[in-house]
Structure 1
Amino acid sequence: MPSLNRRDLGLLVLRVGTGAVLAAHGTQKLFGWFGGPGLEGTAQGMEAMGFHPGRESAVAAGLGEAGGGALLALGLATPAAGAAAAGAMAGAVSVHLPAGFFNRAGGFEYPAFLGFTSAAIGVAGAGRYSLDHATDHRFDQPWVVAVAFLGSALAAAAVLGRRAKAQSGEQPQDTAEA
């Protein structure tokens, strides 16, 4: 049996801690667990914050947090998990940005920290004590890192751009209309 590796053990602790926090927040949004608003309440909140359509935005945010967090904690598909969680946190940062940096004043410190931590884990990989390691890194390839983070960045930019247009009074283009 190989000896314990401090770096891999540290990644395990960081992954599980960060993933658990994200998963808990996501399940608040999706299912109303842990005193959360549930999907309908989150959808209403998303609409009020300028994310349209609210229900789809709530599902995306909830899945980015709950799904990304659970996968981070397990160390499975770590690049995609980190990218999904970081993308969801980009949306949260945009909401808290007007209040400045510090969380005490309602600022973006906390979601930024979760986003950067998720991204760092996604880039660094899950380490030896993970399902990625157990599956010979099938879902943790260098190309997955690039594709996952590019996709997450493009999706976040599109969502945040649409929100900014809506907040400035411009009518966003509805892709559902013919």
Structure 2
Amino acid sequence: MGRRKDLGLLAVRLGTGGVLCAHGAQKLFGWFGGGGIDGTAKFMESVGYRPGKPSAVASGLAELGGGALLALGLATPAGGAAVAGGMAGAVSVHRPAGFFAMTGGYEFPAYLGYVATCIGLSGPGRYSLDRLIGYRLDRPRLVLLSFALSAAGTSVVVARREQVLAAQRREQPEPAGR
């Protein structure tokens, strides 16, 4: 890969990782106007992720930790997979509002998950900590393992959320006149 492509990959990693780190810091620490763990836990509960506090921590760590790994180009497959899983969970929340972010849709988390997946699959490039340590944390088997574990975990968590939401719908009283 040429230096120009490596520089482009570095820019994508830094930009995407930076955005993700900021969002994770909102969730975990309340920085940048975020709700912190308690506020995020309440939100997670309200959208069906229970229990709220562990869900908030997992979401914040996927974003902050995964974003940091992507930005640094360290354990790139694990960082990409963590972000992809976290963003799949966010997409499931925003899916009812349609695609576009302007209407509350899933456009933004889907895009972040997509970019993180691409970086995790392609590798970090020359300007990365993975390269500095001889790509020990960026091997093909780690790509497969990271994304397989993330997909399995995300599937379980999102399916559990769907069960919680279905139970809530069943508990709601029928509207009058039906």
> What TM-score do you get using the length of structure 2 for normalisation?
0.92
Mapped to 1, the partners of 2:51 and 2:117 lie a distance apart of: 26
Paired residues in the alignment total 167
RMSD, aligned CA: 0.9
The structure having more radius of gyration, on CA atoms, is: 2
Q: Which amino acid aligns with 1:97?
A: R
Determine the structure 1 residue equivalent to 2:52: 54
Q: Which amino acid aligns with 1:46?
A: M
Determine the structure 2 residue equivalent to 1:175: none
**What are the equivalent positions in structure 2 for 1:28-177 lying under 5 Å apart?**
28-169=26-167
Mapped to 1, the partners of 2:5 and 2:120 lie a distance apart of: 15
CA shift for structure 1 position 6:
1.0
Mapped to 2, the partners of 1:47 and 1:12 lie a distance apart of: 36
Mapped to 2, the partners of 1:105 and 1:65 lie a distance apart of: 23
CA distances 1:45-96 after superposition (whole Å, capped 9, x unpaired): 0000000110000000000000000110000000000000110000110010
Q: Which amino acid aligns with 1:81?
A: G
CA shift for structure 1 position 23:
0.4
Tell me the secondary structure at the aligned position of residue 168 of structure 1.
helix
Mapped to 1, the partners of 2:25 and 2:12 lie a distance apart of: 20
> What TM-score do you get using the length of structure 1 for normalisation?
0.92
- Which runs of structure 1 show a deviation greater than 6 angstroms over 4 or more consecutive aligned residues? none
**What are the equivalent positions in structure 2 for 1:6-21 lying under 5 Å apart?**
6-21=4-19
Mapped to 2, the partners of 1:83 and 1:165 lie a distance apart of: 24
Mapped to 2, the partners of 1:168 and 1:39 lie a distance apart of: 26
Q: Which amino acid aligns with 2:101?
A: N
Structure 1: gaps of 5 or more residues: 171-178
Q: Which amino acid aligns with 1:71?
A: L
- Give identity over the alignment, percent: 59
Q: Which amino acid aligns with 1:146?
A: L
Mapped to 1, the partners of 2:123 and 2:82 lie a distance apart of: 14
Determine the structure 1 residue equivalent to 2:173: none
CA distances 1:109-129 after superposition (whole Å, capped 9, x unpaired): 000000000000000000000
Tell me the secondary structure at the aligned position of residue 167 of structure 2.
coil
Mapped to 2, the partners of 1:165 and 1:62 lie a distance apart of: 23
